[in-house]
Structure formats: structure tokens, C-alpha cells
Amino acid sequence: MATVDTLRQQFNVEGVRFGTNNGLVYVQVATPDVISTIYVQGAHLTAWQPEGFEPAILLSHTSEFAAGKAIRGGIPVVFPWFADDRKRDRVDGHPGPFHGFARLQEWSLDAVKRVKDTVQMTFTLGPTDLSRSMGYDHFQLSLEFHLGRELTMRLTVTNTGDTPLPFEEAFHTFFRVMDVHEATIAGLETVKYIDKTDAMAVKPADDEPIAFTKKVDRVYGNTTGPYVIHDVAGRRRIFLEKSGSKSTIVWNPWESLPDLGEWDWHEMVAMETGNVGDNGLVLAPGAHATMGSRVKLEHGLRRQDLGA
């Protein structure tokens, strides 16, 4: 298990420091271009704020920071299944944890380096006692972060076994907006979707940007992007590009939840890059697959973004 002292000795990089919160180790980046925080548990990014902008990532005000418990908000890593575990008797007659085990495990921080005003990090995760108890003993995850005025994440999954490895994956990104009632998403207008709020019904394309007037929980398949979140009240745009991903998930619960603060949903657009459901992957022995996302912000809105 990594400690702050060992990480400080191993990675003496300008603009990078290590700390703990309720026993959880985190890495904090502060350069002229960005402030960001990543927890070693889950390789979980909880903050990213480019210079000159308000924070772009929402962290729940009621998230519990505790060993073995999922952090709510930020960018959880979903692996090896999405949402509820469909194997109902995986562990002692019960299903496995929601969104898999990767976000509950302590990863290894393998590399930290500074390239001008960008900090690059690599975290890895292999089999653990928890994953083995769930039937996952032959995999390797590698997650690369590039933290600067843009945010880039790349997750590589490798099958280290001698049988096929089926899995689902996602970056469950909680984007922060000033007011979800005034936010829209462009880029999915022509894509049909699975509506999880309506018994998984397949709905036709809306032929217009996504607007938020009630609970939204949608899975868009066979999508490549790019997308734009128009944060109208915040007068900025959030650009999302992705690679190696065919699923895009959009979610807002439209109410507070036990681990999501009373007002957090008002300032949240969850937009996930993933491969889930029919877009889930199967890796042959020795094979690997990489999924990536790239986020950047831009000030101001055009007249068409305001509906003019």
C-alpha cells in the first residue's frame, strides 16, 4: 500500500504534492495551467480546473472518503461491468459492487513527470484478493492522465490469461455546470438510445440537443463523438472527444441521493465515455484495448447556443 512518504521519495516533481484525506492518499497538481486532484484509490480524479476557469468536475458534497467505498463524483473508473452486476451470485450468493471493483481498489502510481505545464501520470491495477473473489484473476489496467489546460485520460485493458476476457468499461465523468436547467448537450441528436428511466425502452433519436427537464438516464450505442456541453448559465462550453469508445451515457438523477448532496444535481451533467451493453468488449488472450477521452473548455457562447 502506497504511503505519502514513499510517494514523495519516489516522485519529486515540481507542482506535484501528496496528501491524505481520512486515510486515503491523493496526488495534487498545481501548475500555472491547472489545479487537479487524483486519489490513489480507484485512480479517481476528483478535481480538474484549468487556469482562468471555474472547476469543471463536480465532487459530491456528501461523498464519503473511506477505504473500500466508492467516491461519489469526479471521474470514477468503471470496470469490469457497468451499473448492476448481472451475475446475481458472484460473491457469496450476491452480485458484485455497482460499476465493478476497479473504483474500490488502491491502484499503483507508476509514473509522474512534468512536461512544461502539463503533468503526466500513470496508474496501474492488477488482480487483487477482491477481484479474484469475483472471478477476475488475469487482467492488467493502465490509466494515463495528462493534466493541463486540457484533460486527457487513456485506459488500457490487457488480458493476461489464456481464455477470452469479456468486460465493460467507462469514465463516469461528473461535469460541473452552473445550472443544469440551462445546460444542453450537442452531438447526439441523430442517435437512438436506451432509456433506463422507462424500463430500458429503446427510444428514437430526439433530433435536437439534449435538454434537462426531468431525470435523464440514457445509454447511446455506436457513438464516436465529439460532443459539446453548453453550460449556458456559466457562459462556457465543455468539449468532449473520445477514442476506442462506442457507448456514451448521459445521466442526471433530478433529485438528491444519499451520497449526492442536496443541490449537487443542479450543477451536474454526467456524460460518460464507455463500452457497455452491446458495445462491451471481449479480449483474446494476450490482447489489449485502449479507451480515451479528451476534455477542453472554452469561454463564451454563440448566439445559437443561447437559442437565438
Which CATH architecture is the domain 4-306 placed in? Distorted Sandwich (2.70)
Q: Is the pLDDT of residue 304 over 80?
A: no
Q: pTM value?
A: 0.96
The letter for the amino acid at 97 is P
DSSP string, 246-269: -EEEEEE-SS-BTTB-TTGGGGEE
Q: Tell me the C-alpha distance between 87 and 85, whole Å.
A: 5
Three cell numbers, residue 230: 453548453
Q: Is the pLDDT of residue 246 over 80?
A: yes
State residue 308's pLDDT score: 39
pLDDT tens profile 147-177: 999 999 999 999 999 999 999 999 999 999 9
Three cell numbers, residue 198: 422507462
Q: Is the pLDDT of residue 117 over 90?
A: no
pLDDT tens profile 189-234: 999 999 999 999 999 999 999 999 999 999 999 999 999 999 999 9
State residue 122's pLDDT score: 98
Q: Cis link prior to 80 (omega < 30° from 0)?
A: yes
Q: Tell me the C-alpha distance between 35 and 261, whole Å.
A: 23
State residue 302's pLDDT score: 57
